[in-house]
Structure 1
């Protein structure tokens, strides 16, 4: 039986997840297909109530605006892990012997990208689900973390994600200070970074969680400055590697698959 999976969100037509997941299935010789499905905010619970009954379903990836909405769904069919509740965000639904599980592979994706990097200070631009996943990934690293957020509405979620790490929350009007950190992580959508572009100074290392349209404004500035960059393509591929492992249950070398997926994405540049 050919299995199926999909990425859910809105808008979703720009998503590159089908490209890399289907490429992974090909490489792993795994009989499955992966597509993008438009699911608007407020419609997720209804959609899942119907789709999770399907026997051929591997699972779902979730992107904006559904990562937080998924945590709010109260359904006996979904088991949401503690970390996802702590960061109030999840991007993966997968099946195991106990039923449907919910988790955030964004956290593992960040940890994978940080595995060979040394830094003592981090600035994170934004306070949404991707930002909080980065905070959780850094929680045990003993580095100084500064979060620059546009609204105080998510402060409680930021603090919960930090798990006692050395973190400061700063107002958005101070975001020009962010560039002094060893590592700067941007989670602000590419069409909303004009204020950041004005104050940009090339950091030692920049991770841009955005990738479309390529290159995003801040990524372009970092490349022009010849600064070190972890691109949004790399974060997309890293978190996908962990989703693929959870959904397919196939054992594989994660470094190998990551390199293969990056090769596929780099062909789009």
Structure 2
């Protein structure tokens, strides 16, 4: 999927609800400034029932080059795009729409760069010093909290990184059947378990990916076996996870999350969802700007600097 270089007055935005906390405007604006590209990038609060109307805006209003898409819009906009990528068709979720203008008019092209964001975030944790897993770049056994649209991207990321087994820890396993079907399509051995049964399984995971919204995992900490013992502080609560196991918590506001704090106290390595946001955002910047040949390592670095992340 490619996009022509943006004309004067080009604009893009991140869509979602709530959206006031999003760091995407800062990240994208930083990247475009580094690249010398004039794209005005904002945040728009939008609900699923407004999806059709907004898709019409993308087709008719001048200047649009694309939008980033977050919850709860990742599946709501799919019926209104013209060309979903194979990945979007497979996952049933998008996070990127590119507005393409040509002789045949305006077309909306859909992609999902969350997968790259997850892979590069976890690979960065390994580079930063987490122990090498037994197999694959992320390890043999992975846990995913949740089964929604971001969890579907996490499943594809696990497949691409060579994971052997994945366990979906959810409130209701019956509602995870779509995710399990995707896992089978991807060649993953996957099961869905109530998160309340996960405490005894935690020491077997090489990594965990929490795809839950901000604060949603707070009440899961005790059930996962990561909380305080006998009323004591959770600091030093080692032995409940594999030493050096990596947690990627896609929620980044507030940070650190209760889950991230407990995971680190138990001896694990924590990766903020800001890291995922940066890496998936780099791929969106390529699509919105139409630039493929650039010093993307430097662009990534200045984006990390903008939000206070260590450079990869």
Match of 2:197 in 1: 174
Partner residue, 1:133 = 153
Q: Aligned partners of 1:178 and 1:243: how far apart in 2?
A: 36
Aligned to 1:241: 282
Q: Is the 8 A contact 1:178 1:184 kept in 2?
A: no
1:39 pairs with one of 46, 65, 81: 46
Deviation (angstroms), 1:227: 2.7
Change (3 A) 1:178 1:208: farther
For residues 13-52 of structure 1, the aligned pairs below 5 Å read 13-52=20-59
- Answering whether residue 150 of structure 2 is matched by residue 146 of structure 1, we say no
Task: Map Cα deviations across residues 113-157 of structure 1 (whole Å, 9 max, x no partner).
Answer: 244643221111111111110101122414221111223224124
Query: Kindly tell me: are residues 55 and 190 of structure 1, through their superposed partners in 2, closer, same or farther at Cα, counting changes over 3 Å?
Result: closer
Deviation at 1:193, TM superposition (A): 1.6
CA spacing shift, 1:2–1:97, aligned 2, 3 Å: closer
Q: Determine helix, strand or coil for the equivalent of 1:52.
A: helix
Distance change >3 Å, CA 178–CA 25, structure 1 → 2: farther
Cα 1:230/1:35, change in 2 over 3 Å:
same
| Displacement of 1:161 | 4.8
The alignment partner of 1:67 has SS state of coil
Q: What does residue 80 of structure 1 align with?
A: 84
1:197 aligns with 2:197: no
**In 2, Cα distance between the equivalents of 1:32 and 1:92?**
16
Counterpart position of 2:4: none
Instruction: Report what 1:160 is aligned to.
Output: 182
Alignment correspondent of 1:94: 98
Tell me which residue corresponds to 2:113: 105
Deviation of 1:17 after TM superposition, in Å, equals 0.6
Taking a change above 3 Å as real, the CA distance of residues 255 and 230 of structure 1, as seen in their structure-2 partners, is farther
SS in 2 for 1:264: helix
Using the size of structure 2 for normalisation, the TM-score is 0.78
How much is the aligned-residue C-alpha RMSD, in angstroms?
2.1
In proportion to residue count, which structure has more helix?
1
Answer whether contact 2:151 2:211 (CA < 8 A) is retained: yes
What SS does the corresponding residue of 1:148 show, helix, strand or coil?
strand
Q: What is the Cα deviation at residue 226 of structure 1?
A: 5.1
> 127-136 or 191-200: which moved more?
191-200
Q: 1:206 aligns with which of 232, 247, 251?
A: 247
Q: What is residue 133 of structure 2 aligned with on the other side?
A: none
Extract unaligned runs of 5+ from structure 1.
Answer: none
Equivalent pair of 1:139/1:164 in contact (CA under 8 Å): yes
**TM-score, structure 1 as length reference:** 0.90
Could you give the per-residue CA deviations for residues 153-192 of structure 1, whole angstroms, max 9, x where no partner exists?
2412442255121222222322324532010111112322
> CA 1:176 to 1:9, structure 2 compared with 1: closer, same or farther past 3 Å?
same
Partner SS, residue 210 of structure 1 = coil
Question: Which structure has the bigger radius of gyration?
Answer: 2
Which whole-Å CA distance do the structure 2 matches of 1:222 and 1:173 have between them? 17
Question: How far does residue 88 in structure 1 lie from its aligned partner after superposition?
Answer: 1.6
Preserved contact between residue 88 and residue 94 of structure 2 (Cα < 8 Å) = yes
